[in-house]
Chains A and B, each alone.
Chain A
Protein backbone atom coordinates (compact mmCIF):
# COMPACT_ATOMS: atom_id res chain seq x y z
CA UNK A 1 0.00 0.00 0.00
CA UNK A 2 2.82 2.36 1.02
CA UNK A 3 4.77 1.47 -2.14
CA UNK A 4 1.72 2.08 -4.33
CA UNK A 5 1.13 5.44 -2.71
CA UNK A 6 4.79 6.42 -3.09
CA UNK A 7 4.78 5.53 -6.78
CA UNK A 8 1.61 7.56 -7.24
CA UNK A 9 3.13 10.61 -5.53
CA UNK A 10 6.23 10.22 -7.71
CA UNK A 11 4.07 10.07 -10.83
CA UNK A 12 2.10 13.16 -9.78
CA UNK A 13 5.35 15.04 -9.23
CA UNK A 14 6.72 14.06 -12.64
CA UNK A 15 3.47 15.09 -14.33
CA UNK A 16 3.42 18.35 -12.39
CA UNK A 17 6.96 19.20 -13.38
CA UNK A 18 6.82 18.03 -16.95
CA UNK A 19 3.32 18.58 -18.13
CA UNK A 20 0.48 20.85 -17.13
CA UNK A 21 1.22 23.98 -19.05
CA UNK A 22 3.08 23.09 -22.20
CA UNK A 23 0.70 25.37 -24.11
CA UNK A 24 1.51 29.03 -23.61
CA UNK A 25 -0.73 31.97 -24.32
CA UNK A 26 0.24 35.56 -23.65
CA UNK A 27 -2.66 37.83 -22.67
CA UNK A 28 -3.68 40.26 -25.38
CA UNK A 29 -4.88 43.09 -23.16
CA UNK A 30 -6.10 45.39 -25.91
CA UNK A 31 -8.24 42.68 -27.48
CA UNK A 32 -9.93 41.76 -24.21
CA UNK A 33 -10.89 45.02 -22.58
CA UNK A 34 -14.28 43.43 -21.85
CA UNK A 35 -12.71 41.24 -19.15
CA UNK A 36 -13.41 43.31 -16.06
CA UNK A 37 -14.44 40.78 -13.41
CA UNK A 38 -12.31 37.72 -12.81
CA UNK A 39 -13.50 34.64 -10.95
CA UNK A 40 -10.40 33.49 -9.11
CA UNK A 41 -10.56 29.75 -8.44
CA UNK A 42 -8.95 28.19 -5.42
CA UNK A 43 -5.76 26.56 -6.73
CA UNK A 44 -5.57 22.86 -7.49
CA UNK A 45 -3.00 21.44 -5.11
CA UNK A 46 -2.11 18.18 -3.37
CA UNK A 47 -2.03 19.89 0.02
CA UNK A 48 1.46 18.48 0.52
CA UNK A 49 4.79 20.23 0.76
CA UNK A 50 6.89 18.05 -1.51
CA UNK A 51 10.50 17.17 -0.86
CA UNK A 52 12.25 15.54 -3.77
CA UNK A 53 15.72 14.61 -4.89
CA UNK A 54 15.49 14.59 -8.68
CA UNK A 55 18.84 12.81 -8.93
CA UNK A 56 18.15 10.26 -6.22
CA UNK A 57 20.73 7.43 -6.46
CA UNK A 58 17.94 4.88 -6.07
CA UNK A 59 16.58 5.76 -9.49
CA UNK A 60 19.74 4.27 -10.99
CA UNK A 61 18.79 0.79 -9.76
CA UNK A 62 15.79 0.01 -11.91
CA UNK A 63 12.30 -0.55 -10.57
CA UNK A 64 13.33 -1.63 -7.07
CA UNK A 65 15.67 1.34 -6.70
CA UNK A 66 12.93 3.63 -8.01
CA UNK A 67 10.51 2.33 -5.41
CA UNK A 68 13.10 2.80 -2.64
CA UNK A 69 13.67 6.37 -3.86
CA UNK A 70 9.92 7.02 -3.96
CA UNK A 71 9.46 5.73 -0.40
CA UNK A 72 12.37 7.83 0.83
CA UNK A 73 10.98 10.99 -0.79
CA UNK A 74 7.49 10.20 0.38
CA UNK A 75 8.56 9.96 4.00
CA UNK A 76 10.57 13.19 3.72
CA UNK A 77 7.61 14.98 2.12
CA UNK A 78 5.31 13.71 4.85
CA UNK A 79 7.60 14.92 7.64
CA UNK A 80 8.16 18.28 5.97
CA UNK A 81 4.41 18.73 5.42
CA UNK A 82 3.87 18.10 9.14
CA UNK A 83 6.49 20.71 9.95
CA UNK A 84 4.77 23.28 7.75
CA UNK A 85 1.31 22.43 9.08
CA UNK A 86 2.54 22.74 12.68
CA UNK A 87 3.44 26.30 11.74
CA UNK A 88 0.02 26.85 10.18
CA UNK A 89 1.55 27.74 6.85
CA UNK A 90 -1.56 27.91 4.65
CA UNK A 91 0.16 28.51 1.36
CA UNK A 92 -2.98 28.22 -0.78
CA UNK A 93 -4.83 30.83 1.28
CA UNK A 94 -1.85 33.20 1.19
CA UNK A 95 -1.43 32.70 -2.55
CA UNK A 96 -5.08 33.40 -3.34
CA UNK A 97 -5.36 36.36 -0.99
CA UNK A 98 -2.28 38.02 -2.48
CA UNK A 99 -3.30 37.22 -6.04
CA UNK A 100 -6.78 38.66 -5.52
CA UNK A 101 -5.28 41.86 -4.10
CA UNK A 102 -2.82 42.23 -6.99
CA UNK A 103 -5.54 41.65 -9.59
CA UNK A 104 -7.62 44.35 -7.92
CA UNK A 105 -4.60 46.67 -8.01
CA UNK A 106 -4.35 45.88 -11.72
CA UNK A 107 -7.90 47.16 -12.22
CA UNK A 108 -10.04 44.00 -12.06
CA UNK A 109 -12.95 43.12 -9.84
CA UNK A 110 -12.31 39.73 -8.28
CA UNK A 111 -14.68 37.06 -7.02
CA UNK A 112 -13.20 34.12 -5.10
CA UNK A 113 -14.59 30.77 -6.21
CA UNK A 114 -14.05 27.34 -4.74
CA UNK A 115 -15.19 24.73 -7.27
CA UNK A 116 -15.18 20.96 -6.86
CA UNK A 117 -12.03 19.62 -8.46
CA UNK A 118 -12.26 16.03 -9.65
CA UNK A 119 -8.52 16.08 -10.39
CA UNK A 120 -5.52 17.98 -9.16
CA UNK A 121 -5.35 19.90 -12.42
CA UNK A 122 -7.13 22.59 -14.44
CA UNK A 123 -10.90 22.25 -14.52
CA UNK A 124 -12.16 20.65 -17.71
CA UNK A 125 -15.58 22.26 -17.52
CA UNK A 126 -16.28 25.80 -16.34
CA UNK A 127 -19.97 25.61 -17.20
CA UNK A 128 -21.54 25.49 -13.76
CA UNK A 129 -19.49 28.25 -12.16
CA UNK A 130 -20.41 31.84 -11.31
CA UNK A 131 -22.24 33.59 -14.15
CA UNK A 132 -21.38 37.13 -13.02
CA UNK A 133 -17.72 37.02 -13.95
CA UNK A 134 -16.17 37.66 -17.35
CA UNK A 135 -13.41 35.08 -17.05
CA UNK A 136 -12.08 32.42 -14.69
CA UNK A 137 -8.49 32.38 -13.50
CA UNK A 138 -7.65 28.74 -12.79
CA UNK A 139 -4.32 28.12 -11.00
CA UNK A 140 -2.53 24.97 -9.87
CA UNK A 141 0.07 25.16 -7.14
CA UNK A 142 3.01 22.90 -6.27
CA UNK A 143 5.18 23.80 -3.29
CA UNK A 144 8.23 22.20 -1.71
CA UNK A 145 11.98 21.78 -1.78
CA UNK A 146 13.89 20.04 -4.56
CA UNK A 147 17.51 19.09 -5.06
CA UNK A 148 19.42 17.91 -8.12
CA UNK A 149 21.39 15.11 -6.41
CA UNK A 150 22.61 13.88 -3.05
CA UNK A 151 25.43 16.39 -3.19
CA UNK A 152 23.34 19.38 -4.28
CA UNK A 153 21.43 21.82 -2.07
CA UNK A 154 17.71 21.65 -1.44
CA UNK A 155 16.20 24.71 -3.14
CA UNK A 156 12.73 26.12 -2.50
CA UNK A 157 10.21 25.60 -5.27
CA UNK A 158 6.84 27.22 -5.83
CA UNK A 159 5.33 26.48 -9.21
CA UNK A 160 2.04 27.57 -10.61
CA UNK A 161 0.48 26.84 -13.94
CA UNK A 162 -2.57 28.92 -14.57
CA UNK A 163 -4.97 29.89 -17.26
CA UNK A 164 -7.59 32.57 -17.80
CA UNK A 165 -10.69 31.16 -19.46
CA UNK A 166 -13.36 33.41 -20.89
CA UNK A 167 -16.82 32.63 -19.55
CA UNK A 168 -19.20 31.40 -22.21
CA UNK A 169 -16.76 30.96 -25.07
CA UNK A 170 -14.25 28.82 -23.10
CA UNK A 171 -11.40 30.58 -24.89
CA UNK A 172 -8.05 30.37 -23.11
CA UNK A 173 -6.99 34.02 -23.03
CA UNK A 174 -3.85 33.45 -20.97
CA UNK A 175 -1.87 30.39 -20.00
CA UNK A 176 1.46 30.34 -18.26
CA UNK A 177 3.80 28.31 -16.08
CA UNK A 178 5.73 30.32 -13.50
CA UNK A 179 8.37 28.76 -11.28
CA UNK A 180 10.16 30.27 -8.32
CA UNK A 181 13.32 28.62 -7.03
CA UNK A 182 14.36 25.23 -8.32
CA UNK A 183 14.54 25.38 -12.09
CA UNK A 184 13.64 22.11 -13.79
CA UNK A 185 14.02 23.20 -17.42
CA UNK A 186 10.58 21.82 -18.10
CA UNK A 187 7.74 23.42 -19.99
CA UNK A 188 9.28 26.74 -21.04
CA UNK A 189 8.59 28.19 -17.60
CA UNK A 190 9.06 31.76 -16.45
CA UNK A 191 11.71 31.27 -13.78
CA UNK A 192 12.42 33.44 -10.78
CA UNK A 193 15.52 32.56 -8.77
CA UNK A 194 15.35 32.05 -5.00
CA UNK A 195 17.87 33.66 -2.67
CA UNK A 196 20.81 31.52 -1.64
CA UNK A 197 19.96 32.01 2.03
CA UNK A 198 16.97 29.67 1.54
CA UNK A 199 19.02 26.78 0.18
CA UNK A 200 19.81 23.85 2.50
CA UNK A 201 22.77 21.56 2.06
CA UNK A 202 20.79 18.41 2.87
CA UNK A 203 17.44 17.20 4.16
CA UNK A 204 18.69 17.20 7.76
CA UNK A 205 19.36 20.91 7.74
CA UNK A 206 16.07 21.58 5.90
CA UNK A 207 14.07 19.72 8.53
CA UNK A 208 16.08 21.31 11.33
CA UNK A 209 15.26 24.84 10.15
CA UNK A 210 11.54 24.80 9.37
CA UNK A 211 11.03 28.51 10.04
CA UNK A 212 13.72 29.43 7.53
CA UNK A 213 12.39 26.83 5.09
CA UNK A 214 8.89 28.26 5.38
CA UNK A 215 10.22 31.76 4.80
CA UNK A 216 12.04 30.50 1.69
CA UNK A 217 8.74 29.31 0.22
CA UNK A 218 6.77 32.34 1.36
CA UNK A 219 9.23 34.68 -0.39
CA UNK A 220 8.26 33.18 -3.73
CA UNK A 221 4.57 33.98 -3.53
CA UNK A 222 4.68 37.77 -4.11
CA UNK A 223 7.28 37.32 -6.86
CA UNK A 224 5.07 34.88 -8.77
CA UNK A 225 1.97 36.96 -8.19
CA UNK A 226 3.69 40.12 -9.39
CA UNK A 227 4.49 38.32 -12.64
CA UNK A 228 0.86 37.27 -13.09
CA UNK A 229 -0.38 40.78 -12.36
CA UNK A 230 2.12 42.22 -14.86
CA UNK A 231 0.98 39.75 -17.52
CA UNK A 232 -2.69 40.51 -16.95
CA UNK A 233 -2.26 44.19 -16.09
CA UNK A 234 -4.50 46.64 -17.88
Chain B
Protein backbone atom coordinates (compact mmCIF):
# COMPACT_ATOMS: atom_id res chain seq x y z
CA UNK B 1 0.00 0.00 0.00
CA UNK B 2 2.78 2.40 1.02
CA UNK B 3 4.72 1.42 -2.07
CA UNK B 4 1.71 2.30 -4.22
CA UNK B 5 1.36 5.73 -2.61
CA UNK B 6 5.09 6.32 -3.10
CA UNK B 7 4.79 5.32 -6.76
CA UNK B 8 1.88 7.73 -7.24
CA UNK B 9 3.91 10.57 -5.73
CA UNK B 10 6.87 9.69 -7.97
CA UNK B 11 4.69 9.85 -11.07
CA UNK B 12 2.87 13.07 -10.16
CA UNK B 13 5.93 15.00 -8.95
CA UNK B 14 7.53 15.62 -12.37
CA UNK B 15 4.24 17.09 -13.57
CA UNK B 16 3.95 19.38 -10.60
CA UNK B 17 7.57 20.53 -11.00
CA UNK B 18 7.13 20.79 -14.75
CA UNK B 19 4.19 23.10 -14.36
CA UNK B 20 5.68 25.05 -11.45
CA UNK B 21 7.53 27.33 -13.87
CA UNK B 22 4.32 28.20 -15.73
CA UNK B 23 2.10 31.03 -14.60
CA UNK B 24 -0.80 29.74 -12.56
CA UNK B 25 -4.39 30.49 -13.46
CA UNK B 26 -4.73 32.54 -10.28
CA UNK B 27 -1.79 34.72 -11.33
CA UNK B 28 -3.13 35.06 -14.89
CA UNK B 29 -6.54 36.17 -13.61
CA UNK B 30 -4.94 38.64 -11.18
CA UNK B 31 -2.68 40.00 -13.95
CA UNK B 32 -5.71 40.52 -16.18
CA UNK B 33 -7.71 42.28 -13.48
CA UNK B 34 -4.74 44.51 -12.65
CA UNK B 35 -4.29 45.40 -16.30
CA UNK B 36 -7.98 46.22 -16.73
CA UNK B 37 -8.09 48.51 -13.72
CA UNK B 38 -4.82 50.30 -14.51
CA UNK B 39 -5.14 50.65 -18.28
CA UNK B 40 -5.09 54.23 -19.54
CA UNK B 41 -5.85 53.40 -23.15
CA UNK B 42 -9.54 52.69 -23.06
CA UNK B 43 -12.40 53.25 -25.46
CA UNK B 44 -15.88 54.27 -24.33
CA UNK B 45 -17.69 53.72 -27.58
CA UNK B 46 -17.51 50.81 -30.01
CA UNK B 47 -17.22 53.41 -32.79
CA UNK B 48 -13.60 53.78 -31.65
CA UNK B 49 -12.94 50.05 -32.12
CA UNK B 50 -11.47 48.92 -35.40
CA UNK B 51 -13.30 45.79 -36.56
CA UNK B 52 -11.13 43.35 -38.48
CA UNK B 53 -12.13 41.80 -41.78
CA UNK B 54 -12.53 38.03 -41.59
CA UNK B 55 -10.78 35.41 -43.62
CA UNK B 56 -12.72 32.26 -44.44
CA UNK B 57 -11.51 28.73 -43.64
CA UNK B 58 -8.48 30.01 -41.76
CA UNK B 59 -8.50 30.28 -37.96
CA UNK B 60 -7.48 33.66 -36.56
CA UNK B 61 -5.56 33.19 -33.33
CA UNK B 62 -5.12 36.11 -30.95
CA UNK B 63 -4.55 36.86 -27.31
CA UNK B 64 -6.55 38.93 -24.92
CA UNK B 65 -3.58 40.52 -23.20
CA UNK B 66 -2.04 43.92 -22.48
CA UNK B 67 -2.09 44.72 -26.22
CA UNK B 68 -5.84 44.19 -26.53
CA UNK B 69 -8.40 46.98 -26.58
CA UNK B 70 -10.09 47.86 -23.29
CA UNK B 71 -13.71 48.90 -23.58
CA UNK B 72 -15.51 50.65 -20.73
CA UNK B 73 -19.23 50.03 -20.66
CA UNK B 74 -21.62 50.93 -17.82
CA UNK B 75 -18.62 51.57 -15.58
CA UNK B 76 -17.18 48.10 -16.24
CA UNK B 77 -14.02 47.44 -18.19
CA UNK B 78 -13.52 44.48 -20.49
CA UNK B 79 -11.23 43.41 -23.29
CA UNK B 80 -12.81 43.38 -26.73
CA UNK B 81 -12.10 42.26 -30.27
CA UNK B 82 -14.40 42.79 -33.22
CA UNK B 83 -14.80 41.34 -36.71
CA UNK B 84 -16.80 42.44 -39.71
CA UNK B 85 -19.45 39.93 -40.75
CA UNK B 86 -19.27 39.63 -44.52
CA UNK B 87 -22.43 39.81 -46.61
CA UNK B 88 -23.32 37.80 -49.72
CA UNK B 89 -21.42 34.71 -48.60
CA UNK B 90 -24.48 32.52 -48.05
CA UNK B 91 -24.74 30.84 -44.67
CA UNK B 92 -21.60 30.51 -42.62
CA UNK B 93 -20.45 29.69 -39.12
CA UNK B 94 -18.29 31.67 -36.75
CA UNK B 95 -16.51 29.33 -34.38
CA UNK B 96 -15.17 31.00 -31.22
CA UNK B 97 -12.72 29.17 -28.94
CA UNK B 98 -11.20 30.34 -25.68
CA UNK B 99 -8.26 28.17 -24.62
CA UNK B 100 -7.44 27.03 -21.13
CA UNK B 101 -4.42 28.79 -19.62
CA UNK B 102 -2.50 28.44 -16.34
CA UNK B 103 -1.31 25.12 -14.98
CA UNK B 104 -2.82 21.66 -14.60
CA UNK B 105 -3.38 22.22 -10.89
CA UNK B 106 -4.49 25.84 -11.21
CA UNK B 107 -6.16 26.48 -14.57
CA UNK B 108 -7.98 29.58 -15.76
CA UNK B 109 -9.88 30.53 -18.87
CA UNK B 110 -11.43 33.59 -20.42
CA UNK B 111 -15.20 33.00 -20.43
CA UNK B 112 -16.29 34.59 -23.67
CA UNK B 113 -19.34 36.64 -24.47
CA UNK B 114 -20.20 36.88 -28.15
CA UNK B 115 -22.44 39.69 -29.37
CA UNK B 116 -23.77 40.24 -32.86
CA UNK B 117 -24.10 43.92 -33.73
CA UNK B 118 -25.97 45.78 -36.43
CA UNK B 119 -24.46 48.47 -38.64
CA UNK B 120 -25.09 51.06 -35.90
CA UNK B 121 -23.16 48.84 -33.46
CA UNK B 122 -26.30 48.05 -31.49
CA UNK B 123 -26.64 44.53 -30.09
CA UNK B 124 -28.86 42.32 -32.28
CA UNK B 125 -28.33 39.14 -30.32
CA UNK B 126 -26.00 37.59 -27.76
CA UNK B 127 -24.86 34.00 -27.99
CA UNK B 128 -26.24 32.21 -24.89
CA UNK B 129 -23.43 31.25 -22.48
CA UNK B 130 -24.72 27.64 -22.54
CA UNK B 131 -23.69 27.47 -26.20
CA UNK B 132 -20.11 27.16 -25.03
CA UNK B 133 -18.97 23.62 -24.30
CA UNK B 134 -15.61 22.61 -22.86
CA UNK B 135 -13.65 20.48 -25.30
CA UNK B 136 -10.44 18.56 -24.96
CA UNK B 137 -8.30 17.98 -28.00
CA UNK B 138 -4.69 17.66 -29.00
CA UNK B 139 -4.80 21.25 -30.27
CA UNK B 140 -5.59 22.58 -26.81
CA UNK B 141 -8.48 22.45 -24.38
CA UNK B 142 -11.03 25.19 -24.38
CA UNK B 143 -14.56 26.51 -24.45
CA UNK B 144 -16.02 26.57 -27.94
CA UNK B 145 -19.27 27.65 -29.52
CA UNK B 146 -20.51 28.04 -33.06
CA UNK B 147 -22.58 30.97 -34.21
CA UNK B 148 -24.41 30.78 -37.52
CA UNK B 149 -25.00 33.68 -39.86
CA UNK B 150 -27.69 32.77 -42.37
CA UNK B 151 -28.03 35.15 -45.29
CA UNK B 152 -31.72 34.48 -45.81
CA UNK B 153 -32.71 35.13 -42.19
CA UNK B 154 -30.18 37.74 -41.04
CA UNK B 155 -31.66 41.14 -40.43
CA UNK B 156 -28.80 43.50 -40.03
CA UNK B 157 -26.02 41.43 -38.56
CA UNK B 158 -22.93 43.38 -39.46
CA UNK B 159 -20.32 42.79 -36.78
CA UNK B 160 -19.36 40.24 -34.15
CA UNK B 161 -17.86 41.39 -30.87
CA UNK B 162 -15.98 39.06 -28.55
CA UNK B 163 -15.45 40.03 -24.96
CA UNK B 164 -15.12 38.43 -21.54
CA UNK B 165 -17.93 37.95 -19.09
CA UNK B 166 -17.68 37.83 -15.32
CA UNK B 167 -18.62 34.58 -13.65
CA UNK B 168 -19.91 33.39 -10.31
CA UNK B 169 -17.90 30.66 -8.64
CA UNK B 170 -20.70 28.12 -9.16
CA UNK B 171 -20.83 28.81 -12.90
CA UNK B 172 -17.16 28.05 -13.54
CA UNK B 173 -16.47 25.20 -15.95
CA UNK B 174 -14.66 22.14 -14.64
CA UNK B 175 -11.61 20.59 -16.25
CA UNK B 176 -10.08 17.22 -15.55
CA UNK B 177 -6.83 15.86 -16.88
CA UNK B 178 -6.08 12.17 -17.44
CA UNK B 179 -2.80 11.30 -19.10
CA UNK B 180 -1.29 8.04 -20.23
CA UNK B 181 2.31 8.03 -21.35
CA UNK B 182 5.47 5.91 -21.28
CA UNK B 183 8.53 6.29 -19.11
CA UNK B 184 11.84 4.82 -20.21
CA UNK B 185 13.30 2.39 -17.69
CA UNK B 186 16.86 1.21 -18.40
CA UNK B 187 17.98 -2.03 -16.78
CA UNK B 188 21.61 -3.33 -16.89
CA UNK B 189 21.64 -6.86 -18.27
CA UNK B 190 25.38 -7.51 -18.15
CA UNK B 191 28.74 -5.76 -18.34
CA UNK B 192 28.16 -2.77 -20.61
CA UNK B 193 24.78 -3.94 -21.85
CA UNK B 194 21.43 -2.41 -21.06
CA UNK B 195 17.85 -2.97 -21.97
CA UNK B 196 15.46 -0.04 -22.14
CA UNK B 197 11.83 -0.74 -21.45
CA UNK B 198 9.09 1.79 -22.14
CA UNK B 199 6.93 1.47 -19.05
CA UNK B 200 3.33 2.58 -19.66
CA UNK B 201 2.03 4.77 -16.91
CA UNK B 202 -0.27 7.73 -16.38
CA UNK B 203 -1.93 10.12 -13.98
CA UNK B 204 -5.39 11.45 -13.29
CA UNK B 205 -5.80 14.85 -11.70
CA UNK B 206 -8.97 15.60 -9.74
CA UNK B 207 -11.63 17.77 -11.42
CA UNK B 208 -10.96 21.43 -10.87
CA UNK B 209 -12.87 24.61 -11.62
CA UNK B 210 -11.19 26.95 -14.10
CA UNK B 211 -10.89 30.47 -12.76
CA UNK B 212 -12.32 33.34 -14.78
CA UNK B 213 -9.57 35.39 -16.34
CA UNK B 214 -10.14 38.57 -18.37
CA UNK B 215 -7.03 37.68 -20.40
CA UNK B 216 -6.58 34.53 -22.43
CA UNK B 217 -5.89 32.88 -25.75
CA UNK B 218 -8.55 32.84 -28.41
CA UNK B 219 -9.27 31.56 -31.91
CA UNK B 220 -12.03 32.54 -34.31
CA UNK B 221 -12.79 30.70 -37.54
CA UNK B 222 -15.24 31.67 -40.27
CA UNK B 223 -16.44 28.73 -42.36
CA UNK B 224 -18.94 28.41 -45.18
CA UNK B 225 -21.91 26.33 -43.99
CA UNK B 226 -22.01 23.13 -45.95
CA UNK B 227 -23.16 19.90 -44.38
CA UNK B 228 -21.77 16.53 -45.40
CA UNK B 229 -23.90 13.60 -46.44
CA UNK B 230 -23.81 10.08 -45.05
CA UNK B 231 -20.92 8.22 -46.68
CA UNK B 232 -19.24 11.42 -47.88
Contact = CB atoms under 8 A, between A and B. Distances in A.
B150 A30 contact: yes
A190 B227 contact: no
Contacts of A60: 182, 197-200
Contacts of A147: 202, 204
B131 A193 contact: no
Nearest to A125: B230
A156 B130 CA distance: 24
Interface of B: 4, 7-8, 11, 91, 93, 95, 130-131, 133-139, 146, 148, 150, 153, 174-182, 197-204, 206-207, 225, 227-231
22 contacts: A23-B228, A26-B93, A31-B148, A55-B201, A60-B198, A60-B199, A60-B200, A125-B230, A148-B179, A149-B202, A152-B8, A152-B204, A155-B204, A171-B229, A172-B227, A185-B137, A187-B137, A190-B133, A191-B136, A194-B207, A196-B207, A227-B133
Contacts of A59: 200
B201 A25 contact: no
Contacts of A195: 207
A159 interface: no
B201 A185 contact: no
Most buried by A among B93, B148, B198, B200: B200
A56 B200 contact: yes
B136 A185 contact: yes
Contacts of A148: 178-180, 201-204
Given A55-B181, A55-B202, 5 more contacts: A56-B200, A151-B201, A192-B174, A196-B207, A230-B131
Contact of A171 (B201, B207, B227): B227
Interface in A179-229: 182-185, 187-196, 199, 227
A101 B201 CA distance: 41
A113 to B, nearest CB: 16
A29 B4 CA distance: 51
Nearest to A195: B207
Most buried by B among A28, A146, A151, A227: A151
B156 to A, nearest CB: 15
Contacts of A193: 174-176, 207
Interface string A135-162: 0000000000011111111010000000
A57 interface: yes
B7 A151 contact: yes
A151 B8 contact: yes
A54 B204 contact: no
B88 to A, nearest CB: 17
A126 interface: yes
A151 B4 contact: yes
A194 to B, nearest CB: 7
Nearest to A184: B178
Contacts of A183: 136, 176-178
B8 to A, nearest CB: 5
B155 to A, nearest CB: 12
A25 B230 CA distance: 13
